[in-house]
Amino acid sequence: MKFNKDLLEKRWVAYTIATCSAVVLFFLLSNLGDIFNGIKVVYKILSPLVTGLIIAYIIDPFVTFLKKTVFADIKNENTKKKLSVTTALVGIAIIIILLMVALIPQIIVSIQTFVKNINTYVESLQHFLKTASVEAAKRNIDISGLIRFGDDTLSMIGRKIPENFNGILNTSISISKAIFDLFIAMFLAIYYLADKDRLKGSFSRLLKRIIKEDKYKAFAGFWERCNSILIRYIAFDIIDGIIVGVANFIFMSIAGIPYSVLISLVVGVTNLAPTFGPIVGAIIGGFVLVLVNPLHALWFIIFTIILQTIDGYVLKPKLFGGSLGVPGVWILISIIVGSRILGVTGILLAIPFAAIVDFIYHDLIFQGARKREELEKQKALSKTD
């Protein structure tokens, strides 16, 4: 150990390490695209395994809750575990099926109606733009260039949407593959949940053999904190998305705005993605409604701004509290990196990932550096004494 310490204190060793580190960093930055693509390829191959692990991770709190409440009186731990896993999976499957039965027929009808009437909507909006142009000309305002651009865009939309709709309907192979992968992931989730204690015990024993006891305890505490951040975020983000989607549906139904189910579903789902999700939902909903009736689109955008303001300043702070408060720059970097590596999954998990990185920096690296500084000060004081 002394040899290593003396060696590291030599100047040429420090220069060599710094040079090698710079070369490695340059290589990584130069090939960042290839590295991301490689990670994406590996993720695509292992996606059923990863999806199964994610499903098991999300369902596990429900399983634990059932074990401690509904099946608490059962003495046999193995039977208790099996009943809890089965009940949680069946319950969630029933909820998903009921939602699909209730929503999918309405969504299909909405899409079919929208595509069928797209030319009528385009003609109506073109007429509105021409009327606006005439009124503007009366007031010596020239918006003819804007009107021509709008006409060309609407004509293209009127042609492209019906053409591409047939392509959308012919994606059954991709949908079938996605459903097949989902079934595999569900079966893997069952095995993960059934063998959770054994897998956890094996991993703990492996870690104890690799690292010292104090390091293991520190790692266990770190994992518990990360687990708490992730579970809290996933649960409350889903609740937040449901509340926003339902509130949007109620408003659109009361205001008599069409396609309320379809647009509210889009708004609720896109709200799960941080920062840019609500903007994407508003753009999609506004685009659909502006073709139907520009006034409906205006009311929708106004309500969305009000709803997102309430969501950002009232609802999210109530749900998440201060446990996930991270700087905006961390979130932006996490969204960019996450989207490049894991696509939509990376975007959805950007905030908890940023929270974990922020926690690592402040509670581990920063605090560790402060402790080392204090120890060095104490040593310096003891030497002077």
Query: Is the CA virtual torsion 257, 263, 267, 268 positive or negative?
Result: positive
Both tokens assigned to 170: 């012919």
pLDDT at 329 over 70: no
**What does the alpha-carbon distance between residue 88 and residue 94 come to, in Å, rounded to a whole number?**
10
Query: Is the CA virtual torsion 297, 300, 306, 310 positive or negative?
Result: negative
pLDDT confidence of residue 204? 82
**What does the alpha-carbon distance between residue 220 and residue 241 come to, in Å, rounded to a whole number?**
31
Query: In sequence order, what are the residues at sequence separation of 6 or more whose Cβ sits closer than 8 angstroms to the Cβ of residue 362?
Result: none
Both tokens assigned to 200: 């956890």
Count of positions (residues) in the chain: 385
- Mean pLDDT calculated for residue range 218-228: 77
Both tokens assigned to 82: 């099996």
Phi-psi region of 275 (alpha: psi -120 to 50; beta: other; left: phi over 0): left
Q: What is the mean pLDDT of the chain?
A: 74
- Mean pLDDT calculated for residue range 328-350: 68
pLDDT confidence of residue 151? 61
pLDDT at 124 over 90: no
- Cβ atoms of 331 and 351 closer than 8 Å: yes
- Cβ atoms of 268 and 252 closer than 8 Å: no
**What does the alpha-carbon distance between residue 150 and residue 161 come to, in Å, rounded to a whole number?**
16
- Cβ atoms of 235 and 61 closer than 8 Å: yes
pLDDT at 1 over 50: no
pLDDT tier, 248 (very low <50, low <70, confident <90, very high otherwise): very high
pLDDT confidence of residue 3? 45
In tens, the pLDDT along 147-162 reads 666 666 656 665 655 5
Domain residue extents for the chain: 11-193+213-323, 324-368
Query: φ and ψ at 212, to 5 degrees?
Result: -75, 165
Query: In sequence order, what are the residues at sequence separation of 6 or more whose Cβ sits closer than 8 angstroms to the Cβ of residue 355?
Result: 229, 233, 323, 324, 326
What does the longest C-alpha to C-alpha distance in the chain come to?
A: 91
**What does the alpha-carbon distance between residue 296 and residue 132 come to, in Å, rounded to a whole number?**
17
**What does the alpha-carbon distance between residue 118 and residue 111 come to, in Å, rounded to a whole number?**
10
pLDDT confidence of residue 150? 60
pLDDT at 2 over 50: no
pLDDT tier, 247 (very low <50, low <70, confident <90, very high otherwise): very high
- Cβ atoms of 229 and 324 closer than 8 Å: yes
**Residue showing tokens 């905030």:** 351
pLDDT at 4 over 60: no
- CA-based angle 209:212:217, to the nearest 5? 105
Statement: the pTM of the whole predicted model exceeds 0.85: no
- Mean pLDDT calculated for residue range 341-368: 68
- Mean pLDDT calculated for residue range 42-68: 80
